[in-house]
Amino acid sequence: MISSLRTPTPTEDPERPLRGKLSSHTRRDFVRGVAAAGASTAGAVALGGTGLDLFGETALANSRSNGFGHFEAIAASSGDALEVPEGFRAQVLISWGDPFRDRKGRTHRYGFNNDFLAFFPLDRRGEGLLFVNHEYPDPFFIHGYKPDGAAKTPEQVQLEKDAVGNSIVHVRRRSGGGWKVVSPSPYNRRIYGDRPELDFTGPLAGAAGVGVTANGSVANCSGGVTPWGTALSCEENFDDFGVDVEADAADAYGWKQFGGSPADAEYDSETQAKYGWVCEHDPYDPHGVGRKHTALGRFRHENTAFRHEPGKRFVLYMGDDKANECVYKFVSDRRFRRRDPEGNRRILESGRLYVARWEPEGRRRFAAAGDTDPVTATEGRGIWVPVPVAALADTAAKLREQFGDDEYDTHFATNRPEDLEVAEDGSVFIALTNNSTVNDSHGSVRRLRERGNDPEALAFSWRDYAAGGPTGGDEGAEGFSSPDNLVFDRAGNLWVVTDISSSRLNGDNEYAYHRNNAMFMVPTSGPNKGVAFRFANGPVQCELTGPWFTPDEQTLFVNVQHPGEQTGNASDAPGVFGLEQTYTSWWPEGDRSRGDNPAMPKPSTVAITRIPRRRR
Ligand code: FEO
Ligand code: CA
Ligand code: CA
């Protein structure tokens, strides 16, 4: 059963009084929150021996559950609405352009194309900070530009710089279970594409092309959290920003070309290495200076997932989101210690980066596009190969040079790693989204287990855990395609959002069955183990990103990224700026599939909650 639900935005409700001090909200609360959430994306606490049955296919009984564990899966949809199962509601919390103020009364605007989000608790009642990434601008929606090769003005480039980066937004749960933005708040702030300065750390800080600082942050795709209470933001398609604009190059923003400032030369990813790093921010510190960690390498960073265990060094898993690129892990020189905040802040500054080498091969290959039976092995073994310091500034290119094309493509390349997440038992789930160069249309979720379940191990085994494609028959369980972000709930269910290219959605092709991009829940144990149940549908041409549960798992936050993306992303795209009727999505203020209220589509952050029984 489908229900299309929208509830009022927070601006329609009177603000509650602001609590006025930075007070007693502690990092300790954050650590406890992570522990309470069990595995979640943090993979925080290895519970040794009580986890899932790794490569045995026996389903374990699982009695734990949360507010989201039981729902009636919904059918695929092409509608221009965010759809959730009956009994749930989806509230738009904040959208692109919405103002939120800091304590000095300065107004900040929520950025474009929200991707990663994480909730940092301020208390146990339902108050916290959302740390959100704004990945890339859409020049058409921001200032009416189509990629027809024409020049941009420096003012247009500035609007794009202002639309990306990160937001830290203070939010509070209301008595009815919905959420509102707290504004003004001393925590509210933005990081932009050109400001403030972030500091470099690690072996390449100060090196030629890197320097000591960078102006702002770009291409912030997904990310992660640390157990010491900071957010990690991953610069993914960093090379799009300095590239010169040419006709129909939708992903070239021309900031160096049209920016109008000498500093804009720094977006040239060929000559400088200011972007393409993992950035660390402290949401709890409004005066905190972000840091870019060179020890983690420079590639198209999708996200991070950590593992720490008593007596072991801190480990961070990462993927390079590009077809035929790699999976990495960083093993810190230091261990995480709860009572050593200063030491913990240095964990990502020094250590060893490794790249995964897969046997018999890393890519899942198919005979033809759309096939669901691979011609390659779906399980095997692998080793972690050290990455030399000399390769850190341009990691993938240097490693390809080192290993040679044949070795690299056979044993290191994968099918575009999007999110990696650490399960409660320490195994690592990897969303390999798709790879047209090897006819992988639908992708898979791969599971990697370190030898001896030791995070520092230099060998592992792997198995493709869940395959994308039309793998099921029942309505709501037809199967996901092109997995992107992953998150575990504390019952061990895996939540998967999909990212089929908006140009291929709802076309006459192998993705037709899937309709809009969606969110699925995949039980990892019990009788439904491995089945993908559709929990939410996104509006037209969006992808859903950044799913994140609050520590009590009563709220699931999710981002709706690039609704209506095909409106103005080519010179002959249908959009006419200012004429909403021509836009391909009208969400969230309207619904194009119903002809309801033509409006500008806006990337937005949504809070999904269960409707209290008395209100249903
Ligand atoms: Fe920005 Fe890898 O998705
Ligand atoms: Ca992604
Ligand atoms: Ca993606």
Q: What is the DSSP string of 6-69?
A: -B--GGGSPPPPPP---TT--HHHHHHHHHHT-STTTT----TTSS---SS-PPPP-----TTS
Give the number of the atom of ligand 1 that is nearest the alpha carbon of residue 433.
2
Residue 576: both structure tokens together: 């006419």
In a domain, 350, yes or no: yes
C-alpha of residue 310 to centroid of ligand 3, in Å: 34
C-alpha of residue 245 to centroid of ligand 2, in Å: 24
In a domain, 265, yes or no: yes
Give the number of the atom of ligand 1 that is nearest the alpha carbon of residue 545.
3
Report the distance separating Cα 156 and Cα 142, nearest Å.
8
C-alpha of residue 107 to centroid of ligand 1, in Å: 29
Q: Which ligand is nearest to the CA of 500?
A: 3
C-alpha of residue 215 to centroid of ligand 1, in Å: 22
pLDDT tens, position by position, 203-221: 999 999 999 999 999 999 9
**Which of these, 166, 417, 200, 414, lies nearest to 296 by C-alpha position?**
200
C-alpha of residue 311 to centroid of ligand 2, in Å: 32
Q: Which amino acid is at 99?
A: P
Residue 332: both structure tokens together: 């810190």
Cβ contact 541:505 at 8 Å? yes
In a domain, 90, yes or no: yes
Give the number of the atom of ligand 1 that is nearest the alpha carbon of residue 300.
2
Give the number of the atom of ligand 1 that is nearest the alpha carbon of residue 222.
1
C-alpha of residue 437 to centroid of ligand 3, in Å: 17
197-201 vs 291-293, strand pairing mode: parallel
Give DSSP secondary structure letters for 194-232: S-SEEEEESTTTT-TTT-SEEES---EEEEEE-TTS-EE
Residue 508: both structure tokens together: 């006459």
Q: Which residue's alpha carbon is nearest to atom 1 within ligand 1?
A: 221
Give the number of the atom of ligand 1 that is nearest the alpha carbon of residue 499.
3
Report the distance separating Cα 274 and Cα 251, nearest Å.
19
Report the distance separating Cα 68 and Cα 66, nearest Å.
5
- Number of Cβ within 10 Å of residue 574's Cβ equals 13
C-alpha of residue 431 to centroid of ligand 1, in Å: 11
Would you call 175 exposed, middle or buried from its count of C-beta atoms within 10 A (0-12, 13-18, 19+)? Answer: exposed
C-alpha of residue 123 to centroid of ligand 1, in Å: 31
C-alpha of residue 320 to centroid of ligand 3, in Å: 12
490: phi then psi, degrees, rounded to nearest 5: -75, -10
C-alpha of residue 484 to centroid of ligand 2, in Å: 5
Give the number of the atom of ligand 1 that is nearest the alpha carbon of residue 221.
1
Q: Which residue's alpha carbon is nearest to atom 3 within ligand 1?
A: 221
Q: Which ligand is nearest to the CA of 236?
A: 1
Residues with CB under 5 A from ligand 2 (ion): 418, 484
Alpha helices in 392-466 (DSSP H): 395-403, 405-407
pLDDT confidence of residue 65: 58
DSSP element (H, E) containing 84? strand 83-84
Report the distance separating Cα 413 and Cα 548, nearest Å.
29
In a domain, 615, yes or no: no
In a domain, 255, yes or no: yes
Give the number of the atom of ligand 1 that is nearest the alpha carbon of residue 321.
2
Give the number of the atom of ligand 1 that is nearest the alpha carbon of residue 115.
1
In a domain, 493, yes or no: yes
In a domain, 375, yes or no: yes
Cβ contact 130:119 at 8 Å? yes
C-alpha of residue 523 to centroid of ligand 2, in Å: 22
565: phi then psi, degrees, rounded to nearest 5: -60, -25
Report the distance separating Cα 539 and Cα 550, nearest Å.
24
C-alpha of residue 180 to centroid of ligand 3, in Å: 27
pTM for the complete prediction? 0.91
Q: What angle do CA 337, 352, 132 make, to 5 degrees?
A: 65
CB-based contacts of 127, cutoff 8 Å, min separation 6:
121, 170, 171, 172, 173, 182
Report the distance separating Cα 80 and Cα 580, nearest Å.
14
The residue written with tokens 């390498």 in the block is: 297
In a domain, 393, yes or no: yes
Q: How many residues does the chain have?
A: 616
Q: Which amino acid is at 565?
A: E
What stretches in the chain show pLDDT beneath 70? 1-66, 614-616
Give residues (CB < 6 A) around ligand 1.
115, 135, 221, 236, 302, 321, 418
Q: Give the chain's end-to-end CA distance (angstroms, integer).
A: 15
pLDDT tens, position by position, 58-98: 222 232 456 788 899 999 999 999 999 999 999 999 999 99
Report the distance separating Cα 193 and Cα 196, nearest Å.
9
pLDDT confidence of residue 465: 93
**How many distinct structural domains can be found in the chain?**
1
Domain that holds residue 303: 2-610
Q: Which amino acid is at 461?
A: S
Residue 123: both structure tokens together: 């208390």
Query: Does a cis peptide bond (omega within 30 degrees of 0) precede residue 539?
Result: no
